[in-house]
Amino acid sequence: MTNRNSLLALLGALCMLSQLQAGQKTAAVCHTGTLLDVQEQTDLIPTVQIVQVHRNKNNKDWTTVAPPSARKETTYTVKVLLDGVIYTARSGGDFWAYKPSSLVVNSPVEACIEDRKLAITRPDGKKYRPSIVRREQQPATPPPSAD
């Protein structure tokens, strides 16, 4: 019975510890990296067309204004090299959002890894925080050939 009680107490403690850690964010890891690439992709997304015909009290027909058949949706993808790892991150673009296409490729940038976000310090000092979608090791460079 003692082993069972000890095991249950241990499991309970582990559950409480994992719940405490889930509520805490990990500390951001910040370094100077290299901006490898910035891409902007604009897609046309179909929208639902709604046309309604109405008849008023004078038996006159009228229709409501229909929205456009498609809307533009822009997605930005950035790649940053930090400590031998290439981080690919994406963000949506809207009227109010920051457009990272003004960043200069192959230039040094201050960047932090904050959970699932890549926080890049913009030229104006504010942070641009796209979501990380991929992490990959920097490919090893082959040694120079002795010809």
Which is more confidently placed, 45 or 112?
112
pLDDT single digits (tens) 56-72? 777 776 666 667 778 88
Cβ neighbours of residue 45 closer than 8 Å, sequence gap 6 or more: 70, 71, 72, 73
Tell me the percentage of the chain whose pLDDT exceeds 90.
35
**Overall size of the chain counted in residues:** 147
Look at 63 and 93; give whichever has higher pLDDT: 93
Over residues 111-147, the pLDDT tens digits come to: 999 889 999 998 888 999 999 999 999 887 766 666 5
Q: Which residues of 16-47 are buried (b: 16+ CB within 10 A; e: fewer)?
A: eeeeeeeeeeeeeeeeebbbeebeeeeeeeee
The alpha-helical segments, DSSP class H, found in the chain are 2-23
Please give the model's pTM, rounded to 2 decimal places: 0.64
Average confidence score pLDDT of the chain: 79
pLDDT of residue 6: 63
What gap in Å lies between CA 38 and CA 105, rounded to an integer? 7
25-45+71-137, CATH topology level: OB fold (Dihydrolipoamide Acetyltransferase, E2P) (2.40.50)
- Check residue 111 and give its pLDDT: 94
